[in-house]
Amino acid sequence: MWTSSHVSDPESLQSDRFKVDENAGFRSKSGEDLLLDQAFGNLPQFCKYASTCHGSRIVQEELVLLKSEAHDTYVSHSLI
Amino acid sequence: MIRMFRIPLFKHSLSRLSQLVCILVNGGHVDQLVLDKFGNYFVQTLLANICKASFNVLIDHLTRDLDGFAEMCNHQFGSHVIQTAINHCGGNMYSSAKLTKCLSETLQTISTKFLGSICVIHGIDSLSPSLGIAPSITVHARLLSCSRHGHTIVIHALERFDQEFTRLIEKAILNELDDFVNNDFGSRVLFHVLSKQTQMWLKTNNSFISGLVGEIIFNAKYFQLIEYLVTNFRSNEQVKNKLIPSIVRIVRAGVTP
């Protein structure tokens, strides 16, 4: 599983800092763009992740989400 | 408890996508992703969702080197990225011109391979013929027509392009008729052009049919062509006054000229 340089524990992606929401995609609780944070943080690792079966699908979802967000300005986002 | 909020989102999202394209290109990771089994899907999604300027940056990178471009076109995963790029550059003259130029200049290399020929067919469907792809096909008409995958490009182009393109292919056939007749794929192109002539029977001046009659050699390879002409174009002056009397003479004499 891909981990960025600033996320040392892969498990934290699942539980603590980040949440997985099938509607919202793979993003942080604060609404931060996980995809781009990781891409800018560690590009080779990001590309390695995007070259995996699961990772490719996840980053594609993020791209589509980013594009729709850019057009809509507002988006429904679930927060606990 | 889960509550739904509508929160203002980052207006810079699109520009961040552009930044992602820039760092991927500058970092030299695009080629690796394009040729990857799963990475190619990521690049395709990127092409489908980025703005025009970023799209042009990515196309600039993909078309920077003709050999690399040809390799991508013939690659089992890279080919899909090129096809997506071609399909998404409608209305983008800069990228259309770049892709057309690369497709035209690598036509000899890519058109005889299966995946490469698919890229060219996408180019025929999506890129403007006036940008240069039609002239390139006519220049390499014999090479393409006599190859397993190339002949499908010529047949597809005959369906899509105008009468002028058909005239140029007819000219290429008449110049090298032997090569077309002696090749299984070349003869398919020849008969496709003839079937177009049959459909346009009343509209055309039949100069192609007349030209064919003038080039015919009476041997076994030409039998199918002679039969087609006599069956479908018997009222053509050349067929009626030259080809049919020649056949009659041959049958009577029992020897070919």
Query: Is A32 an 8 Å CB contact of chain B?
Result: no
Of B132 and B10, the structure prediction assigns the larger pLDDT to B132
Residue A68 lies in a domain: yes
Residue A2 lies in a domain: no
B83 in Cβ contact with B44 (< 8 Å): no
User: Using a CB-CB distance cutoff of 8 angstroms, which residues of chain A are in contact with residue B19?
Assistant: 36, 40
User: Using a CB-CB distance cutoff of 8 angstroms, which residues of chain B are in contact with residue A51?
Assistant: 32-33, 36-39, 42
The answer for B 10-29 residues in CB contact with A (under 8 A) is 10-11, 13-14, 16-17, 19-20, 23-24, 27, 29
- Count how many domains chain A has: 1
User: Using a CB-CB distance cutoff of 8 angstroms, which residues of chain B are in contact with residue A25?
Assistant: none
Look at phi and psi of residue B132 and say left if phi exceeds 0, alpha if psi is from -120 to 50, else beta. Answer: left
Global pTM value? 0.78
Q: What is the pLDDT of residues A14-71, one digit of tens each?
A: 443 344 444 444 444 444 556 666 677 788 888 888 898 888 888 888 888 777 765 5
Predicted confidence band of residue A10 (pLDDT cuts 50, 70, 90): very low
Residue A43 lies in a domain: yes
Helix ranges, B140-176 (H): 141-145, 150-160, 163-175
Residue A35 is part of which domain span? Answer: 10-72
Q: What is the pLDDT of residue A69?
A: 63
Contact yes or no for A67 and B49 at CB 8 A = yes
Of B221 and B173, the structure prediction assigns the larger pLDDT to B173
Give the H/E segment covering residue B137. Answer: helix B133-139
- Residue A57's contacts (CB-CB under 8 Å, 6 or more residues apart) are B41
Residue A58 lies in a domain: yes
| DSSP reduced 3-state for B220 | helix
Contact yes or no for A40 and B10 at CB 8 A = no
Residue A79 lies in a domain: no
The answer for B 144-203 residues in CB contact with A (under 8 A) is none
Please give the CATH architecture assigned to the domain spanning B21-200.
Answer: Alpha Horseshoe (1.25)
Domain boundaries, chain B: 21-200
Q: What is the pLDDT of residue B105?
A: 95
Average of per-residue pLDDT values in chain B: 87
Residue A1 lies in a domain: no
- Residue B60's contacts (CB-CB under 8 Å, 6 or more residues apart) are B98
Amino acid at B242: K
Predicted confidence band of residue B223 (pLDDT cuts 50, 70, 90): confident
- Residue B245's contacts (CB-CB under 8 Å, 6 or more residues apart) are none
User: Using a CB-CB distance cutoff of 8 angstroms, which residues of chain A are in contact with residue B31?
Assistant: none
Amino acid at B226: I
Residue A21 lies in a domain: yes
Q: What is the CA radius of gyration of chain A?
A: 12
